[in-house]
Structure 1
Amino acid sequence: MTPPTPLLGGRTLDRATARTLPPGSRLPTIAQTFLFARHRKTFFPRLRAQYGDVFTIRLVPSSRVVVVVSRPEHIREVFSTPPSIVHAGEGNTALEPIMGPHSLLLVDDDDHIRMRRQLMPAFNGHALRGYSEMIARLAQKEVEAWPIGTPFRVHERMRDLTLEVILQVVFGVTDSDRLARLRPLVEKVVSVDPVIMLGAFYPVLLKFPPWRSFLRAQQQVDEILYDEIARRRVDPELAERNDVLSKLLAAGTWSDAELRDQLVTLLLAGHETTATSLAWAFHELARMPDELRAGQQAADESNDDYLEAMGKESLRLHPVVYQVGRRLTEPIDLAGYRLPRGTTVMPAIGLVQGDEEHFPDVKTFRPARFLSDTPPAPGTWIPFGGGTRRCIGAGFSLLESTEILRAALTRYNLTAPTTPEKSTPRNVTLVPSKGATITATPRRRPI
């Protein structure tokens, strides 16, 4: 493993260097951390309005220095800087207690290159086409069970569906008894509260019930995953299997611990995020009859480009992940500032994608903007990050969204209250505050 870079924070930042950092909030670190964790969608715009496109915040642990950037050109510079200088893994250390030290999101340099190379065959175009039929089958089964004429929280249904996709398409678990055991355990793990994650920094907390019960659920999930890995290693039909775990085993050399960490990473990164972006998409379509009709027509005609554009616009208008982090392993010049080694640089996805300068009529759900002659400029739509650390599951997520939108829109008309729901934090994501409540009724499709 790469030795960690010393964190720039309250104990390592001298006064002279502090005066050269971008301006920022003077609130206590704990207050800034709370506002970041619970209200970042309003906290960041207020700071940008007060201090400009580049500003500094302080977060736990150790009052670490975080420089937030919100201009596309600055973010492109961060993403294009050699990954040996901007460590994404070190910028995600808060996730290690759940994802594990071998997670693709937490490793850097040679470890990251090796693991990403071994993951790629499971997410290339050929592999994605192989998953589409399984995802479509699960999507059809789910939408057929939607209540008719009764309001329901579509976010909950999407979370159930994307979890099923992870368990069956990614993990390759199809045994009904094992699925029944895994579902509630995995739900506990993916629903972990950021407060629970603090247990890694303060081990004494692990003695108390909320942390202890989470740790037990995590251990039980691990037991099942390690058993599944062991079974798959000796499966004589491994080469014929069409799930992600089997493709990883066939394409690379992994330790059990490395595989476990990649599976949990795919679970956490691909479950809540895709479920939430789909919930927001249905929420917008149910409130906009013209866009709903355009989506239904696209579904009827198998216009996958338009269905994918709806998924992209949902991620644009409602960024599920509002920001990403990188830790500097050496000083760099960025946005007119000399940032010292150990600084955490944070590209703010939500600030870029919510800027009228880059997206005219920025608050309106308009998928056609991605199919026009003047699509969004490079570096302005970045829900999957960028550079060598761009999310390896981006194609899988958009494929999943396309198949699920198709399944629902060919079958139903959708309505919802005209007042849009607000977002609320859930772990590291932003989700619909009322679950994206919609009502579905059967379509009368043209003859």
Structure 2
Amino acid sequence: MSLDTADTRHLTMERFARTSGQSVGGPAPARGTSSALPPGPRWPAIVQTAALMRFRHQLHPYLQRRYGEAFTLRLAPGSRPLVMFSSPEVTKEIFAGDPAVFHAGRGNAILGPVMGEHSLLLQDGEEHHRARKLVMPAFLGHALRGYRSMVAAVAADEVEGWREGETFTSLDRMNALTLEVILRVVFGVTDEQRLAALRPAVNRTVEISPAVLLGWAYPLLQRFGPWRRTVENQVELDRLMYAEIRERRSADDLAERGDVLSKLLVASAAAEAQGEKGLSDVELRDQLVTLLLAGHETTASALSWALVELGRHPDLLARSLRAADDADDAWLEAVLKESMRLHPIIPMVVRTLMRDTTVGGYDLPAGTTVGPSIILSHQNSTSFPDAEAFSPERFLPGEGREVPSLSQWIPFGGGVRRCIGAGFSLMEGVEVLREVLTRYEVEAMGPEEPKVRNITSVPRFGARVRVRRR
């Protein structure tokens, strides 16, 4: 179904009306069930929610030290419980849980106003299965190989413009680069006028603050200040995206196009030809925005941390330079994975229980949200010896060494809900590192630490580096 772009404001406002007022979790558990939950702080729910969103890197370790391997937070609105774990055994248990019981979409409900109800991150059950089946072909191996040269070309254009000897914030440059990848490789937009219109709307979507995210739980705030500006920006972004989708549907060369949007339209048409339901314009918009938010700043932050860490370790930089020259993708991917481990971009993976369930030895009531803390899981000294060290070797098999399992290294989640774009993100990261390291040596400039921006964590000082031509 194609939409007239004049309808898009109405669609945006309806989406906000339907999805605002939600936070992490589903319906609150019945009263009297608190004794079944692991211990946790007794602060007001709004304080706990703000602390979780704003001070996650300090909060998770503090709560683990205070309460142990499992602890409970209460989130606004409604004081809904979030139970966090950090052991790989419980992580594996959660990821292997029955999708009919462990709902991931409900756990991500706070993202609904921007991502939309049809987002893979917000769907559950048959709806999620149908959408994933339609979207998956765009991210299989042969499709990834087709995107590789496109990503490399975008990366080469970016890094060729770097100025030797000048200190710059690599996060800004990586954000600009990954945005171009999203717009050109995922959305398939190449017209410079359209790119110029999309870039600021996309950037404003990515750069929303935790306060705005928290405010989505209180719809009345959307009339004021930054919340109102967020809504208006979404109206503009939706207008641009629906116009692109509508025009792309009429293209007569979809099968020859290499971008993700075109591949989704081809898959949708194939489903309709078999009597199945294809992807509507609204569904396409929701999936594209999901790919945008899940694959733009996350990859940019991981790459900027990787450059900082290589710039701090001359021996690892030397090996990485050789890997770039020798097309040693395994080493470059290990560098990226270790960057994601040591500097988590997303703090946790969550599922909401649809019925009373035992998790990690606790009998938890329906409505409880559970999940592993990525921050704590990636600092687990049993899973990652010398966990504070940057050591890409841990992701390469070696004598007496096994690579981390998918219940230990979890930046993309796990189980049937593992991020559909994980392969794309790693491919993109490897290509970008190769384009940088075949041209430059990298030196880190100054200290760095994480800070929270929207749902992600980024380098507080922008991951400052200086490059020198090889």
TM-score by length of 1: 0.95
**Structure 1 residues 282 and 150 mapped into 2: Cα distance closer, same or farther (>3 Å)?**
same
* Residue of 335, 340, 346 corresponding to 1:321: 346
For 2:155 and 2:423, locate their aligned partners in 1 and report how far apart those are by CA, in whole Å: 17
Shift of 1:276: 0.3
Q: Equivalents in 2 of 1:272, 1:100: separation in Å?
A: 19
390, 395, 399: which is aligned to 2:418?
390
Does the residue aligned with 1:136 lie in a helix, a strand or coil?
helix
Task: Quote the Cα distance in structure 2 between the aligned partners of 1:383 and 1:420.
Answer: 24
State the match for 2:449 in structure 1.
Answer: 422
Does 1:260 find its partner at 2:266?
A: no
Question: What is the rounded CA distance, in whole Å, between the counterparts of 1:361 and 1:141 in structure 2?
Answer: 38
C-alpha deviations, 1:158-215, integer Å up to 9, x for none?
0000000000000000001100111111111111223223443322222223222221
Select which of 439, 444, 450 maps to 1:411.
439
- Letter matched to residue 77 of structure 1: E
Deviations 1:107-140 (A, max 9, x none): 0000000000101100000000000001000000
Q: 2:258 maps to what in 1?
A: 242
CA contact (8 A) 2:26 2:107 kept: no
* SS of residue in 2 equivalent to 1:384: coil
Alpha-carbon separation, structure 2, partners of 1:149 and 1:261: 42
Does 2:198 correspond to 1:182? yes
| Aligned-partner Cα distance in 1 for 2:38–2:248 | 51
Change (3 A) 1:201 1:352: closer
Match of 1:19 in 2: 35
Indicate the residue corresponding to 1:7 in structure 2. Answer: 26
> 2:94·2:371 contact (CA, 8 Å) conserved in 1?
no
The CA distance in 2 between the partners of 1:70 and 1:341, in whole Å, is 21
Kindly report which structure 2 residues correspond to 1:92-103, keeping only aligned pairs within 5 A, or say none.
92-103=108-119
Could you tell me which amino acid in structure 1 is paired with residue 360 of structure 2?
A
CA contact (8 A) 1:97 1:197 kept: no
Structure 1 residue 312, shift from structure 2 partner: 0.7
2-structure distance, mates of 1:355, 1:293: 28
Cα–Cα, structure 1 residues 71 and 310, in superposed 2: closer, same or farther, change >3 Å? same
What is the rounded CA distance, in whole Å, between the counterparts of 1:80 and 1:370 in structure 2? 23
Q: Quote the Cα distance in structure 2 between the aligned partners of 1:202 and 1:8.
A: 16
Matched residue, 1:43: 59
**RMSD in angstroms over aligned alpha carbons?**
1.6
Deviation at 1:270, TM superposition (A): 0.3
Q: Say yes or no: does 1:400 pair with 2:428.
A: yes
What is the aligned counterpart of 2:397 among 372, 395, 407? 372
**Distance change in 2, residues 1:8/1:261 (3 Å):** closer
1:117 matched to 2:133: yes
Determine if contact 2:25/2:108 at 8 Å carries over to the other structure: no
Residues in 1 aligned to 2:25 and 2:199: alpha-carbon distance in whole angstroms: 39
Match of 1:298 among 298, 323, 330: 323
Runs of 4+ residues deviating >4 angstroms: none
The worse-fitting range, judged by mean Cα deviation, of 203-212 and 275-284 is: 203-212
Spell out the pairing of 1:74-85 with structure 2 (5 A cutoff): 74-85=90-101
Deviates more, 1:99-108 or 1:363-372: 363-372
Question: Which of 420, 432, 447 lines up with 2:459 in the alignment?
Answer: 432
1:363 Cα shift? Answer: 1.1
Alignment correspondent of 2:301: 276
Is this contact kept in 2: 1:277–1:320, CA < 8 A?
yes
User: Per the alignment, do residues 201 and 35 of structure 1 end up closer, same or farther by CA in structure 2, a change over 3 Å counting?
Assistant: closer
Q: Which residue matches 2:7?
A: none
Alpha-carbon displacement from aligned partner over 1:379-403 (angstroms, at most 9, x marks no partner):
1111101000000000000000000
Q: Return the letter of the residue paired with 1:342.
A: G
8 Å Cα contact 1:103/1:261 also seen in 2: yes
What do the CA deviations read for 1:274-313 (whole angstroms, capped 9, x no partner)?
0000000001001110010011000000111111111111
Q: AA paired with 1:118?
A: L
SS in 2 for 1:137: helix
| Identity across the alignment (%) | 51
SS in 2 for 1:354: coil
Paired residues, what number?
437
Cα separation, 1, equivalents of 2:67 and 2:441: 45
Query: 1:147: how far off?
Result: 2.1
- Return the alpha-carbon distance in structure 2 between the equivalents of residues 335 and 266 of structure 1: 32
**Cα distance in 2 for residues equivalent to 1:248 and 1:431:** 30
Partner of 2:13: none
Mapped contact 1:140–1:407 kept (Cα < 8 A): yes
Q: What SS does the corresponding residue of 2:383 show, helix, strand or coil?
A: coil
Structure 1 stretch displaced more, 353-362 or 259-268: 353-362
1:437 positional shift: 0.3
Q: Distance in 1 between matches of 2:70 and 2:299?
A: 29
Give TM-score, length-normalised by structure 2. 0.91
Q: In 1, are the aligned partners of 2:45 and 2:77 still within 8 Å (CA)?
A: no
Q: Distance in 2 between matches of 1:415 and 1:6?
A: 43
Moved more, 39-48 or 100-109: 39-48
Letter in 1 for 2:418: R
User: Is contact 1:59–1:65 with CA below 8 Å preserved after alignment?
Assistant: yes
The alignment partner of 2:55 has SS state of: helix
Using the alignment, how far apart are the partners of 1:150 and 1:299 within structure 2?
A: 23
1:103 alignment partner AA? S
Give, in whole Å, the separation in 2 of the partners of 1:283 and 1:377.
23
**d(CA) in 2 for partners of 1:18 and 1:361?**
37
Aligned residue number for residue 136 of structure 1: 152
| Aligned residue in 2 for 1:105 | 121
The partner residue of 1:168 within 174, 184, 189 is: 184
Report the secondary structure of 1:19's partner residue. helix
Q: Does 1:224 align with 2:240?
A: yes
1:428 alignment partner AA: I
Unaligned runs of 5+ in 1: none
In structure 2, what residue type is equivalent to 1:359? F
Runs of at least 5 residues in structure 2 that lack an aligned partner in the other structure:
1-21, 269-277
Q: 1:288 to 1:237 in 2, by over 3 A?
A: same
